[in-house]
Structure 1
Amino acid sequence: MQTHYRSFPAPRRIALNDVTLEVFEAGQENIGNPIVLCHGWPEHAYSWRYQIPALVAAGYHVIAPNQRGYGKSTCPDDVSAYDITQLTGDLAALLDHYGYTDATFVGHDWGANIVWGLALLQPSRVRKIINLALPYQARTAQPWIDMMEEFLGPDYYFVHFNRQPGVADAVLDAHCAQFLRNLFRKNVPLTPPAPGMVMIDLAQADTPLGDPLMSDDDLAVYVDSFTTSGFTGSINWYRNLDRNWGILDGVDPVIHTPALMIYGDRDTIPKSDRLTDFVPNVDVVSLDCGHCIQQEKPAQTNAAILGWLAAQP
Structure 2
Amino acid sequence: MNSLQQQLLDVNGITLSLYTAGPSAGRPLWLLHGFPECWHSWRQQIGPLTAAGYRVLIPEMRGYGQSSAPRDPAAYDLITVCGDIQAAMDLLGHSEACVVGHDWGAPIAWHLALLEPQRVKAVVGMAVPFGGRPRQPAIDMMRQHYAGRFHYILHFQQPGVAEQEMDADIPRTLRMMMHNTSAAVPKDFFLQEKPAGAGLFDGMQDPGMLPPWCDVAAFNHYLQTFTGRGFHGALNWYRNFERNWQRTEALADKHIEQPALFLLGDKDPVGTLEAYTLKQMPKRIANLEQHLLSDCGHWIQNEQAAEVNRLLLAFLSRHYAV
Q: Do structure 1's residue 64 and structure 2's residue 63 form an aligned pair?
A: no
What do the CA deviations read for 1:37-75 (whole angstroms, capped 9, x no partner)?
000001101000010111101110010000110001011
The 5-angstrom pairing of residues 39-54 of structure 1 reads 39-54=33-48
Kept after mapping to 1: 8 A contact 2:260/2:288 = yes
Q: Do structure 1's residue 285 and structure 2's residue 287 form an aligned pair?
A: no
- Measured in 1, the distance between the counterparts of 2:173 and 2:243 equals 28
The 5-angstrom pairing of residues 104-143 of structure 1 reads 104-143=98-137
Distance of aligned partners of 1:8 and 1:212 in 2 relative to their CA distance in 1, 3 Å threshold: farther
Kept after mapping to 2: 8 A contact 1:172/1:203 = no
Q: Secondary structure at the match of 1:237?
A: helix
Which of 29, 39, 46 is 1:35 aligned to?
A: 29
What do the CA deviations read for 1:160-186 (whole angstroms, capped 9, x no partner)?
222x22100111111210010121133
TM-score (norm. length: structure 1) = 0.91
Kept after mapping to 2: 8 A contact 1:183/1:202 = no
Distance of aligned partners of 1:147 and 1:8 in 2 relative to their CA distance in 1, 3 Å threshold: farther
Which of 138, 144, 147 is 2:141 aligned to?
A: 147
What do the CA deviations read for 1:95-116 (whole angstroms, capped 9, x no partner)?
1121011200000000001111
Which of 26, 30, 47 is 2:21 aligned to?
A: 26
Give, in angstroms, the shift of residue 206 of structure 1: 3.1
Q: Secondary structure at the match of 1:274?
A: helix
Kept after mapping to 2: 8 A contact 1:184/1:212 = no
Partner of 1:261 in structure 2?
A: 262
Q: Secondary structure at the match of 1:256?
A: strand
Partner of 2:167 in structure 1?
A: 173
Q: Secondary structure at the match of 1:184?
A: helix
Kept after mapping to 2: 8 A contact 1:260/1:282 = yes
Distance of aligned partners of 1:281 and 1:83 in 2 relative to their CA distance in 1, 3 Å threshold: same
- Measured in 2, the distance between the counterparts of 1:69 and 1:180 equals 16
For structure 1, the residue ranges without an aligned partner over 5 or more in a row are 1-5
Give, in angstroms, the shift of residue 86 of structure 1: 1.1
- Measured in 2, the distance between the counterparts of 1:276 and 1:219 equals 36
Superposed CA RMSD = 2.2
Kept after mapping to 2: 8 A contact 1:187/1:210 = no
- Measured in 2, the distance between the counterparts of 1:227 and 1:66 equals 14
- Measured in 2, the distance between the counterparts of 1:129 and 1:123 equals 10
For structure 2, the residue ranges without an aligned partner over 5 or more in a row are none
TM-score (norm. length: structure 2) = 0.89
Aligned identity (percent) is: 37
Q: Secondary structure at the match of 1:236?
A: helix
Letter in 1 for 2:215: S
Q: Secondary structure at the match of 2:30?
A: strand
Which of 52, 56, 71 is 1:77 aligned to?
A: 71
Kept after mapping to 1: 8 A contact 2:175/2:207 = no
- Measured in 2, the distance between the counterparts of 1:22 and 1:199 equals 32
Give, in angstroms, the shift of residue 247 of structure 1: 1.0
- Measured in 2, the distance between the counterparts of 1:249 and 1:36 equals 26
Distance of aligned partners of 1:90 and 1:52 in 2 relative to their CA distance in 1, 3 Å threshold: same
